[in-house]
């Protein structure tokens, strides 16, 4: 019995039995029907019998699922920055977070195709309440972040997760994906939560904070979708916050959001890998003695990388111009692109509701606005 058993993915020795246990689940039938539309169910059920590791499952099934998602609901995935990384080094990828399933799945497809070490990825246990999703997540090398615990248990859970991430990186030589914050960014403002970094630091042992973080080989990841397929689903929570009301999720809201993220139109997608945090950590050690100040500085470096390397699609410039009733960035998009975006807005929210319209546009415009702050001016080339 390992102290990580409650959160870890399946061991390879457990994969075959777990997979065969959900082979006849209607959700598996739907997933495989989407992935291999022209293949009889008996074919993939038979193939499941020969799957004996997470790697087998990811290579032979999940990678095909993600390629199908890209083919059916996007205009392609582009990447940058990966040529600066070493294929045989395990990294801690700290990413901005837009989509429950795709953010990590797309990264792993890129790592697979470029022959890098694929990740074990953090996922909130609230997102895998259904038995099928729980098993699928563990088959796909996800480890669970336990949500909604009392304070004392939360502290213990964070300690275990910190130690597990350390073991993955340093003992198992496995890369790790973790979001820069708890939950997806709803308003387009990407910011690293110090709590995430505090959790990572709990396994530092005798090392100083900055020395330990150097061993993690942190790589900031910027993911940018031209269209956010869950944009309208984020609106109720944003509006509740605006009205200072408590927002209570619906029973199957997380599941419906996952489906919308997977199946909804995304148009173009870009994934950028930043440079490994290294010398910056030495500078932080010299300039800040206080641990909280060091954590703030590390969060800022991650934010700097994510925001500055975020791909600005035409939708961001259109939203900015509509929000500010200007044509400042008219050269960055075509009239047809603008009309398509306006039609999307009209279909997904009530365009007569000024507050909803402002929040919807800000969701798309904020990455541009944040990037402008780094450029030190009011416009971007």
Within 10 Å of residue 267's Cβ, how many Cβ atoms? 18
**Residue 263 in this model has a pLDDT that exceeds 50:** yes
Contact (CB, 8 A) for 238 and 45: no
Q: Write down the pLDDT at residue 377.
A: 52
Reported as a single tens digit per residue, the pLDDT across 62-82 is 999 999 999 999 999 999 999
**pLDDT above 60 for 270:** yes
Alpha helices of the chain — where are they, by DSSP H? 12-21, 26-35, 41-48, 54-57, 63-73, 102-113, 131-139, 151-170, 194-201, 209-216, 231-242, 253-263, 279-287, 291-308, 314-324, 335-348, 354-375
pLDDT band at residue 279 under the 50/70/90 scheme: very high
Supply the pLDDT for residue 381. Answer: 47
- pLDDT of 262 reads 86
Segment among 11-25, 161-175, 342-356 with least mean pLDDT: 342-356
Tell me whether strands 175-179 and 142-145 are parallel, antiparallel or unpaired: unpaired
Decide if pLDDT at 20 tops 90.
yes
* Confidence label for 237 from pLDDT (cuts 50, 70 and 90): confident
- What's the whole-number average pLDDT of the chain? 94
Residue 310 has pLDDT above 80, yes or no: yes
Which pLDDT band, with edges at 50, 70 and 90, does 376 fall under? low
Asked if pLDDT for residue 326 goes beyond 50, the answer is: yes
Residue-level pLDDT at 313: 98
Region of poorest pLDDT, from 76-80, 213-217, 224-228, 374-378 = 374-378
Closest by alpha carbon to 78, among 355, 286, 269, 288? 269
Distance CA 84, CA 375 (A): 24
Residue 151's SS3 state is helix
pLDDT digits over 108-130, tens only? 999 999 999 999 999 999 889 89
What average pLDDT does range 332-342 have in this prediction? 98
Mean pLDDT, range 50-73, rounded to an integer = 97
pLDDT for the residue numbered 298: 98
pLDDT in tens, 84-107: 999 999 999 999 999 888 999 999
Query: Residue 192 has what pLDDT?
Result: 97
Q: What is the mean pLDDT of residues 285-289?
A: 95
Which pTM was predicted?
0.94
String of b and e for 269-307 (b: at least 16 CB within 10 Å)?
bbbbbbebbeebbeebbeebeeeeebbebbbebbbebbb
Average pLDDT over residues 216-231: 96
């Amino acid at each position: 019995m390992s102290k990580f058993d409650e959160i870890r993915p399946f061991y390879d020795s457990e994969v075959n039995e777990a997979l065969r246990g959900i082979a006849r689940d209607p959700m598996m039938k739907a997933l495989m029907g989407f992935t291999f539309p022209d293949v009889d169910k008996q074919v993939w059920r038979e193939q499941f019998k020969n799957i004996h590791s997470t790697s087998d499952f990811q290579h032979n099934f999940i990678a095909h699922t993600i390629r199908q998602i890209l083919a059916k609901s996007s205009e392609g995935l582009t990447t940058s920055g990966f040529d600066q990384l070493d294929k045989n080094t395990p990294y801690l990828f700290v990413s901005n977070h837009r989509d429950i399933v795709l953010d990590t799945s797309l990264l792993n497809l890129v790592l697979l195709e470029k022959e890098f070490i694929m990740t074990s990825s953090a996922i909130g246990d609230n997102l895998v309440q259904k038995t099928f999703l729980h098993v699928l997540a563990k088959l796909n090398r996800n480890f669970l972040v336990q949500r909604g615990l009392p304070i004392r248990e939360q502290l213990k859970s964070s300690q275990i997760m910190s130690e597990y991430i350390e073991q993955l990186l340093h003992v198992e030589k496995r890369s790790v994906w973790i979001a820069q914050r708890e939950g997806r960014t709803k308003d387009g403002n990407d910011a690293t939560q110090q709590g995430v970094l505090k959790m990572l630091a709990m396994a530092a042992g005798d090392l100083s904070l900055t020395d330990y973080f150097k061993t993690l080989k942190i790589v900031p990841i910027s993911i940018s979708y031209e269209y956010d397929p869950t944009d309208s689903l984020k609106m109720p929570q944003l509006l509740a916050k605006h009205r200072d009301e408590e927002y209570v999720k619906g029973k199957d809201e997380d599941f419906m959001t996952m489906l919308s993220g997977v199946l909804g139109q995304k148009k173009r997608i870009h994934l950028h890998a930043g440079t490994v945090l290294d010398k910056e950590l030495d500078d932080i050690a010299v300039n800040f003695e206080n641990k909280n100040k060091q954590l703030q500085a590390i969060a800022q470096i991650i934010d700097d990388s994510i925001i500055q390397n975020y791909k600005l699609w035409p939708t961001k410039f259109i939203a900015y111009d509509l929000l500010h009733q200007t044509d400042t960035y008219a050269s960055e998009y075509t009239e047809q692109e603008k009309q398509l975006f306006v039609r999307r807005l009209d279909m997904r929210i009530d365009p007569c509701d000024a507050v909803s319209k402002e929040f919807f546009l800000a969701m798309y415009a904020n990455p541009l606005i944040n990037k402008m702050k780094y450029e030190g001016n009011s416009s971007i080339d």
